[in-house]
Chains A and B, each alone.
Chain A
């Protein structure tokens, strides 16, 4: 931990004109060692988490696996989503939950600006998102190529919703957020009943910086929270191990040589550095131009 950097961080933020940053929270050895809020933010005020939601969804799936409501990570998707069992494409029956977790479903994705596919508009207007995605052309055999895209997490959220009988939000809230005392609004649900809060500006999945840091601390402790095993250590380990298709990506978690990370559009960061026992959160206001503040956490952990 670079305490000199931390002591000058306020100046650093001003010098770099990082006007959109709302909160920076750092834990070391489970102790809150640094906390700053800007733009009238407070420890209680929640900020958008954007695609960090994907990493949280991964943990939700892990819990569902632990509890046995999903048989295996290698179960075919078509077992849970009948739209993928209609022989629309020969690859559909090969697609497993693991592929969804590793962004390797192979479904065609036209990567537009900021990862937002122009085809998304058609999905937005469609009456049944899962059916619509099942109709989208397959680009590659599932598991063969990594491509960061929204389809895979939408399907994953739909799978969790289908197996738990309510919605992925309900399941996450009950088994992850409540035990950790994390406060969140209900995730935005699409008109066809799939929870998907990470795309639009109006969606709800906001968390306070401290609550987001709790997710990091949970990971750091191998899924254990106050003596209770929330997620199996086995799943946590698998989620932050390189997937076969991308060495820098686990189960919806980004990996680096320093640690593992949840990342969201507009500079949302949840960084876990296991060697240093550090969890660092940066949150910022989302604007259409993609901003990122990787230099802050790099400075914090620099020697």
Chain B
């Protein structure tokens, strides 16, 4: 038997005929700067081929051979991988409980052994589906399982009968709504300037409840009720209506927000309903099952085993009710890791994508030992990773590079960690050997006692009446183990409070409004006070949510470069700019601009084949025939940011400026037309940062809020990002960054550390001060890891 996996001549994406040998039964880490080809090697070559071969011979899937992307691969075993980028898109109703199947097991347990409230006991047997809110048998009939209901405030709507029709709803005369409303008014001979009270009673009814489909405006109340559904009304309008108090979403009064029907609400185990158990932190739930002697041993033991594994991989701070789309990439990956551990398989090749993301130094150690257990059991683990301690734990290192994109894709090194220290060509090894240590801040910018952003009585989630002062004009780090309350303090308290007080001076994605429906983000925090916002000019939130929500969103569209490029093409050709986008006239009619056609081949399997009509370009021929300096629109979208900088140097200043900003945030390697689903959360965040920097140029007095911005960045790219954040601070802005990376934290001026534990063990401010102060603070946990 081969004891190595040999890959010869790998050449997908930027890989340049890479030959590597990976020892089986060991932990191998693939390193390199972002865009150097790590994922291309680990996922697009090794994992894809491992999966393909396994599925082919087991007849579980039907696949077609695509263009070979390598010479040969030998020594493969069945391969499983968790890519962060793929699992990010997921069913909004999927939760930790449904994904891990613990939810179904709990439902089974309750259906068979639950104690029923005699008053609600109808004598009929319970059914497992009655404890699952995604089942029609179990869902609350009023909210259909969502746990929230939308109410229209009819009184407020007609509180002023003299209101003109144009003011009947906020912005009712603007945009798409405006077009519909105008058509409605014209059809019924109403005027925008008419007073509501001057309409006849039947006309008022028409206005309120619509005309049954005669015109596209369906009446004020149906319109408001539909605004709860994002696919029909823009997130912005939904937001406006909520702000005006016309529509309120609150926990469903029938099920009290649990989303479950009556039978489930009146059945308990150990004194708790299934909803109560599902909203407990994993760690507390584990305790609940250990401490209570519950019937159904086989089920409870299985549940307990799963909970233990989740606790072990650092997911103790999650609840089963937590929606999957709100998890970070790292959390999702560890969720899968937990299920692999439970499976107890050996001789499997596991491919991981930065498994340490989002983990505190303490938690990383635990994760490394779990992965080493997988290896001891006879598995092979290959991880793409930037974390120093993780690399140190590796048996074998493969370094790709030296740089990103065109300048990368070569094998720089393969061998042991010790040998790697002596490698001269790598951009990574010097940071590990100490040859090129990360710059560490020595002079901290002092706190200005007059310029503080003060939060008082924060008590959302697990926060215990927390008060915190965030000094303005500094680089402020927020640290703490997973679930310690970092996000609760920043994303769920500071951001909504700023939203409330700053209103339109707050910049965040439109997409925020969409998720507001399900999340608690917009929850009004009546007890929490905020002070010091008068010092803030503008607040910019830069999160890890995907850029744009259309399938054709890409860095070029998000940063606005694409509009300018199209304008250049339009000028060049004298044709309409709409010709140069797949979303408009330029899109291939057959594949609708995707360039590929999805065929369903049965059993839920799909194959994608290149669209023959457009030869995979997504554009119609007319659009492809126009060139700008020899390049057509498709070729420009295929350029990396770095390549595009060369191309646009002499052509367009504003495009060039945005491209350079993208490169400054470490995104030089990304393709201009790379589609949203293939962009990681960390990459999305840096693109947003670039877009914001490109817009506001030399801003002062702004607050930038970032969430783990170094996710997925190599040492050298992290260094550039730290430098960039420092520049923002130097020109008079505040940067607030939640972070685990000791290198970033060591370069902050001030750190707020949350803790001490996660979930119910956290929720306090553990320590505050400069990195140097934290190093000597006994209470601080992160202090001892700072540089």
A contact set with B: CB distance below 8 Å: 88, 90-91, 94, 108, 110, 112, 117-119, 121-122, 125-126, 132, 135-137, 141, 143-144
Q: Interface residues of B, CB < 8 Å — how many? A: 27
Minimum Cβ distance to chain B for residue A199 (Å): 15
Which residues from B are CB-within-8-Å of A122? 130, 137, 141, 261-263
Which residues from B are CB-within-8-Å of A90? 152, 154, 221, 225
Which residues from B are CB-within-8-Å of A132? 141
Minimum Cβ distance to chain A for residue B199 (Å): 18
B209 contacts A141, C-beta separation under 8 Å: yes
CA distance A213 to B423 in the complex (A): 96
A118-B135, A122-B262 known; A135 and B210 CB under 8 Å? Answer: no
Q: Name B126-164 residues within 8 Å CB distance of A.
A: 127, 130, 135-137, 139, 141-144, 152, 154
A108 contacts B263, C-beta separation under 8 Å: no
Minimum Cβ distance to chain B for residue A140 (Å): 8
CA distance A118 to B141 in the complex (A): 11
Answer yes or no: B245 CB below 8 A from chain A CBs. no
B141 contacts A121, C-beta separation under 8 Å: no
Answer yes or no: B122 CB below 8 A from chain A CBs. yes
A108 contacts B213, C-beta separation under 8 Å: no
B142 contacts A135, C-beta separation under 8 Å: yes
Which residues from A are CB-within-8-Å of B218? 141
Answer yes or no: B212 CB below 8 A from chain A CBs. yes
Which residues from A are CB-within-8-Å of B219? 141
Minimum Cβ distance to chain A for residue B631 (Å): 51
Closest to B225 in A: A90
B152 contacts A119, C-beta separation under 8 Å: no
A135-B254, A136-B141, A144-B213 known; A117 and B136 CB under 8 Å? Answer: yes
Answer yes or no: B603 CB below 8 A from chain A CBs. no
Which residues from A are CB-within-8-Å of B144? 108, 137
Which residues from A are CB-within-8-Å of B262? 122, 125-126
- 8 example contacts (A-B, Cβ-Cβ < 8 A) are as follows A90-B152, A90-B154, A121-B130, A125-B122, A125-B124, A125-B262, A144-B212, A144-B213
Minimum Cβ distance to chain B for residue A32 (Å): 45
A110 contacts B152, C-beta separation under 8 Å: no
| Max chain A C-beta neighbours (<10 A), residue from B127, B139, B141, B152 | B141
A90-B152, A122-B261 known; A137 and B222 CB under 8 Å? Answer: no
Q: Name B659-686 residues within 8 Å CB distance of A.
A: none
Closest to B221 in A: A90
A136 contacts B142, C-beta separation under 8 Å: yes
Minimum Cβ distance to chain B for residue A92 (Å): 12
Among candidates A91, A112, A143, residue contacting B136 with C-beta atoms closer than 8 Å:
A112
Among candidates B124, B136, B210, B254, residue contacting A118 with C-beta atoms closer than 8 Å:
B136
Which residues from A are CB-within-8-Å of B139? 119
Contact with A along B191-214 (1 / 0, CB 8 A): 000000000000000000110110
A143 contacts B141, C-beta separation under 8 Å: no
| Max chain B C-beta neighbours (<10 A), residue from A88, A119, A132 | A119
Q: Name B107-136 residues within 8 Å CB distance of A.
A: 122, 124, 127, 130, 135-136
Which residues from B are CB-within-8-Å of A144? 212-213
CA distance A126 to B262 in the complex (A): 8
Interface contacts (Cβ under 8 Å), in number, total 51
Which residues from A are CB-within-8-Å of B127? 121
**What are the 9 A-B residue pairs with the smallest beta carbon separation, nearest first?**
A118-B136, A136-B141, A110-B136, A135-B142, A125-B122, A119-B136, A122-B261, A121-B137, A118-B137
Minimum Cβ distance to chain A for residue B117 (Å): 12
| Max chain A C-beta neighbours (<10 A), residue from B135, B209, B221 | B209
Which residues from B are CB-within-8-Å of A110? 136
CA distance A143 to B124 in the complex (A): 36
Besides the known contacts A122-B137, A135-B141, 17 further A-B residue pairs in the complex with CB atoms under 8 A apart: A91-B221, A110-B136, A118-B135, A119-B136, A119-B141, A121-B127, A121-B130, A122-B130, A122-B141, A122-B261, A122-B262, A125-B263, A137-B141, A137-B142, A137-B143, A141-B210, A144-B213
Which residues from B are CB-within-8-Å of A88? 142
Minimum Cβ distance to chain B for residue A36 (Å): 41
Which residues from B are CB-within-8-Å of A141? 209-210, 218-219, 222
Which residues from B are CB-within-8-Å of A112? 136
Closest to B263 in A: A125
Closest to A132 in B: B141
Minimum Cβ distance to chain B for residue A154 (Å): 14
Which residues from B are CB-within-8-Å of A135? 141-142, 254
Which residues from A are CB-within-8-Å of B210? 141
Minimum Cβ distance to chain B for residue A64 (Å): 27
Which residues from A are CB-within-8-Å of B154? 90
A119 contacts B137, C-beta separation under 8 Å: yes
Which residues from B are CB-within-8-Å of A119? 136-137, 139, 141
Contact with A along B251-270 (1 / 0, CB 8 A): 00010000001110000000
B209 contacts A94, C-beta separation under 8 Å: yes
| Max chain A C-beta neighbours (<10 A), residue from B124, B137, B144, B263 | B137
Closest to A112 in B: B136
CA distance A117 to B127 in the complex (A): 16
Which residues from A are CB-within-8-Å of B213? 144
Which residues from A are CB-within-8-Å of B137? 118-119, 121-122
Minimum Cβ distance to chain A for residue B159 (Å): 16
CA distance A125 to B119 in the complex (A): 12
CA distance A137 to B218 in the complex (A): 19
Minimum Cβ distance to chain B for residue A164 (Å): 28
Which residues from A are CB-within-8-Å of B225? 90
Minimum Cβ distance to chain A for residue B218 (Å): 8
Which residues from A are CB-within-8-Å of B143? 137
Closest to A144 in B: B212
CA distance A136 to B149 in the complex (A): 12
Closest to A118 in B: B136
Minimum Cβ distance to chain A for residue B780 (Å): 50
A143 contacts B212, C-beta separation under 8 Å: yes
Closest to A191 in B: B122
CA distance A31 to B259 in the complex (A): 58
CA distance A118 to B221 in the complex (A): 29
CA distance A141 to B487 in the complex (A): 41
